[in-house]
Structure 1
Amino acid sequence: MTATVGGHAKPQSPTIAKHTRTAWIWPVLTLLAMLALLEAASRLGLVNPLIVPPPSEIVQALFVLAGQQYFWENFYWTAFEATAGFTMGVGLGFASGLIIGISNFARKSVYPLAVAVQSTPQVAIAPLFLIWFGFGIAPRVFFAALSCFFPVLVAVVVGLNAADQDARTLLRSLGASRWTMFRKLLLPASLPTIFAGLRLAVPASLVGAIVGEFVGGNIGLGVMITTFNSQLQIAESFALVVVLALMGYGSYLVVELLDRRIVSWSHRDS
């Protein structure tokens, strides 16, 4: 791989390239070792399998669930809720962050209120969404949107304030308009921080959808987990947790790929 410096292609360091290719090995080995220890502990009776089933039973339950139509129906609705909530939350968070980041009045009057709302435990707000929006899919989507709204808002505000002050002064001295200042300096400088907020918002939207299903859902993976727990089908519950982990990690990798594509200059040495 190469990096462009001064208009010329600079080969990437062999050490960095080797590290990039082998970065996945240690996490995979660590995970396999943990699973092997858990399997052995469960088989030897050191861990109650009713509380923590052996990984082999979890994998078996996962394959059984994958062959059931009702699993994919619930999977679809959870994915839809998280995706719709993420889209809504990111859009509103980005727009609100722009207003707060650019306007001194909004930063002084609105931003402290937003921080106060963010400090409120969002799980305590979830039952209110059922009162406001009913027991359909709407409260779960809105709660997922709320869960990822604040990370994006804060990231945008912090990113817009991260632009170099000397560069701001230079553009003002050249007579640049506010739009030019935003397009040429503020937005590019804020993109790494914004993508950091997006990486936090991805799992937050999934957590928001699941919490909404726990509180008042009638379909979704969260409802399935609640049902399996009540029936002491612990292996199935763990299998669904694995599915949620894969969903969250897969979404995170998509945002990471977009980050490396759009904000490529901040990943030249990684």
Structure 2
Amino acid sequence: MKGSDFFRHFFSMPVLLSAIFCLLFSGYVSANTNAHVNRVAKNGEPDFELPLCIHLFDDLEMQKKNVLMRNWVKPVDLQNIVLPEVNRIWSQAGIAFRIKSLSAVSIQGAPDRDSIIDYVVKAHRNSVGKSDPERIKKLLQLIDTDLEETNCIHVYLLPYLGETSQGNTRRKARRIFVASWTDKPSGARLPPEHVRLIEKGSFVDGSMARTLAHELGHLLGLKHPDKKTQAEYGLLMGGRMPAYTLRISEINSARNQAAALAEAFQQSAD
């Protein structure tokens, strides 16, 4: 092909239009991808801040594979280590959380206490990986939910939540359970061990802060991605190859829910 023919072919109308379209589309994607980042980063302040009421099971003991588990996480750990990491993760959506209260939960005198603890310790996932919902119903028997504030997200910290389970959310009740011990990294082959408070660097097997951030995602209406159709990876909401990222669609949805929740809390306070 001669030089003049080459340039005539290259700059032919269909090819030229395709090139222009690709440039415009890539710019559109880039602009939309960064839209929330720019808005969220404005003044370095979150657009929404939601209150957490944290309850620690102080006298709850659980035993599995000869390991006696007690809640070892202190209020100062939650305030100074866990919460800042949760807020770092959620800063991509312009959402932050603050600890409104920290309180101890006692199970002394709770009816059927031992049988409830035994059930939770033995709880495991079914054949498709779903955790046992009955264990949460039983745990609620240890809690006087009538004492819960209405304008708060309630987070209950207990030693263990069942085989390979680190967190659970009841969205309508605005209630989250998080464990301070886990056997998830080993697939329950090894005894439970302390959950690390935060995970520095790239995702390996998570942390308490990531679990809480993930469960807060559920509370804000986000779901696990479908592993069969998943096209994005490194996600906070799980799926294959999970990590810390929220998709743009998840950011939009979570922000809408955060706005509604903040308004509901404000109305309740008024």
Query: Which structure shows the higher helix fraction?
Result: 1
Higher relative contact order (CA 8 A, sep 6+): 1
Query: Which structure shows the higher strand fraction?
Result: 2
